[in-house]
Structure 1
């Protein structure tokens, strides 16, 4: 079912935006980007790549050095945060400890011209949206971390912003709770048709919640695409390795015919999409979950490490090609260290990638 886009949801456009701190520290370098109304777009990348600065420029907490920023049809490049119709959910939640949950959620509404009755109604509706009916009288200290995060989301939602911003919202939660809260955020975003810009360094989190992912590297955009596109067709070795872990193996493109390439790796030949590459040295990306042990022909290898992690096995395979990290759901009949194996190159498994 397609989510309905909220009438308040707005697009976000970056038009050749650069942010420089001091004389020469470039935090964001010539970024152009369009986020469609009602979509959840994640800015993903390692520390220092520029994703949080990009988010803060949307919020008006940082000003662009060059370029333009538009929210909807409005140029907000020089507008302060108070004049932008956006709300931000911070990593630290930023709840007032001496205020009740209801008072925290109502706080922003008090400055928006609503009557006391309407403020109360909207605040209670916000708590209901995030599953916290009946929690209004509690203090933040009486809530779990996940509940506090939901209060922060409710406080942002009740303002009905054109754009809702999340800055590493789950990093203070344990793994099980992270999964639960990210599902809630995604469900609320889809149900309400909100425009959401979400910052994280967690690849799995980005893949799970996003309509589109913007992968950033060294203050610039490395690739933009839907989660499946980035996973299956990374633009280069950086994106391949950063999104969902990839084994990068050197290979030789022997021939290219149309859009298919014949490669040689570890003494065997394999055909796969050329992705615009020409004959010569290239890199092959192999996802750990798509590495298959086969009895037929394949890359000769030995099992070097075996680790049991509950729902799956983790392996390190070694051969003339180097080392490969692989995972398998078969925990009942695991391989053993020292086993001689062959690794099959499945049709949908490996992908050629340009070097970053």
Structure 2
């Protein structure tokens, strides 16, 4: 016997959730395709967790429609929705063994004892915890406890699996390993998963698509690469990874291409529907190169800070176009503080984002 997937799509149609005068989610519409992992990403208070809880039926929408597959579930309680959630706190029963924790939802569903045992053992094997069934949660590491919580949700074979900040209690190395395990299981089983986090790197690593939320609304939706390379506005540019946000001017347009003045630098960039005049430009730290030799008419700068971080060096560079945050992978040739440098820009990672 193996754990099966009954993956179903999730659709929000103009969904609003208000708590008295406070609107936590405002006219939100999106669709999560069956078998995909979509992340709700945004700062605290943006509405992402409330959105997740409305999928689960733990909060009821004030307006709009919610569908799981072809069934409208807007007014259905959590008990009548085929959804499982993995919580930030793991929510394991401390007095029960690992196997008893994983079996709990199956037992209360009234399944036969043999099937409960088979599915619970399959769940533990799937998350790499075969042989841990007799241990108590207190005898496990944080990463192992989180995997028990994932197994407990998986064995219920839900149409939709929800993750509410599942890695926030783990240290950096464990977060990376457990997120890879979650993604591998999701893809192996073809699960429909909705994942909430405020960690941009985590979202980029696990998602088929990302929905960025800000102030109760969707700021932008797209693949990780689309959001990183083509942010819709200043908020998304600054929130998805680091970005230098600088003043610029579109001098002229030729088809879909813009001639842009960034101080004394002239760039040709996709216009992205913008008109001539003042704009803002987002430059990723990795898109900037620094040279200690003079490079033609490249703008000059002065290194004000250099921070060695093992795999890369972070620089703060004072230039005529503004202070630049630069990430360089060239750790073998560090540039000393107060050095004069030439500043270059690559084509990738430089984007117009409006004024």
Q: TM-score, normalised by structure 1?
A: 0.96
Aligned counterparts of 1:21 and 1:34: Cα–Cα separation in 2 = 24
Distance in 1 separating the partners of 2:86 and 2:30:
22
2:199 is matched with 202
Distance between the aligned counterparts of 2:333 and 2:8, measured in 1?
Answer: 52
Residues 338/10 of structure 1: CA separation in 2 closer, same or farther (3 Å cut): same
User: Equivalences for 1:159-170 in 2 at 5 Å?
Assistant: 159-170=156-167
1:224-235 to 2 correspondences below 5 Å:
224-235=221-232
User: Hey, what does 1:45 align to over in structure 2?
Assistant: 42
Q: Specify the alignment match of 2:264 in structure 1.
A: 267
Q: Quote the residue 1:3 is aligned against.
A: none
Cα distance in structure 2, aligned partners of 1:309 and 1:26: 41
Match of 2:112 in 1: 115
Question: What is the match of residue 303 of structure 1?
Answer: 303
Aligned equivalents of 2:112, 2:354: Cα separation in 1? 59
Q: How does 1:256-295 map to 2 (within 5 A)?
A: 256-294=253-291, 295=295
Partner of 2:346: 346
Which residue pairs with 2:337 in the alignment? 337
2:346, 2:68 → 1: CA distance? 45
How far did 1:7 drift?
5.2
Q: CA RMSD in A?
A: 1.0
Give a deviation string over 1:273-312, Cα, whole Å, max 9, x none: 1111111011110111121125243232111111111111
Could you tell me how far apart the structure 1 residues matched to 2:29 and 2:332 are?
50
**Aligned equivalent of 2:8:** 10
Say whether the 8 Å CA contact 2:287–2:347 is kept in structure 1.
no
Q: Give the corresponding residue for 2:98.
A: 101
In 1, the alpha carbon distance for the partners of 2:195 and 2:349 equals 29
Does residue 139 of the first structure (1) align with residue 136 of the second (2)? Answer: yes
Equivalent residues, number: 349
The residue matched to 1:337 in structure 2 has which SS? coil
Answer yes or no: is 1:130 the counterpart of 2:121. Answer: no
Distance 1:217 1:29 in 2: 10
Which of these residues, 212, 217, 220, is aligned with residue 220 of structure 1? 217
The alpha-carbon deviation at position 326 of structure 1 amounts to 0.8
What per-residue deviation string (whole Å, max 9, x for no partner) do you get for residues 7-54 of structure 1?
5100000000000001x1000000001110000000000000000000
Structure 1 residues without counterparts, runs of 5 or longer: 1-5
- How far the C-alpha of 1:261 sits from its partner, in A, is 0.6
1:110: Cα distance to partner?
0.6
- Decide which of 142, 146, 149 is 1:149's aligned counterpart: 146
C-alpha contact (below 8 Å) 1:288/1:326 kept by paired residues: yes
Q: Against the structure 1 CA distance between its residues 350 and 296, is the aligned structure 2 distance closer, same or farther, given a 3 Å change threshold? A: farther
Q: Offset at 1:272?
A: 1.2
Instruction: Verify the 8 A CA contact 1:170 1:178 in the aligned structure 2.
Output: yes
**Segment drifting more, 229-238 vs 270-279:** 270-279
2:11–2:66 contact (8 Å) kept in structure 1:
yes
CA contact (8 A) 1:266 1:300 kept: no
CA distance in 2, matches of 1:10, 1:292: 46
- Quote the Cα distance in structure 2 between the aligned partners of 1:143 and 1:121: 22
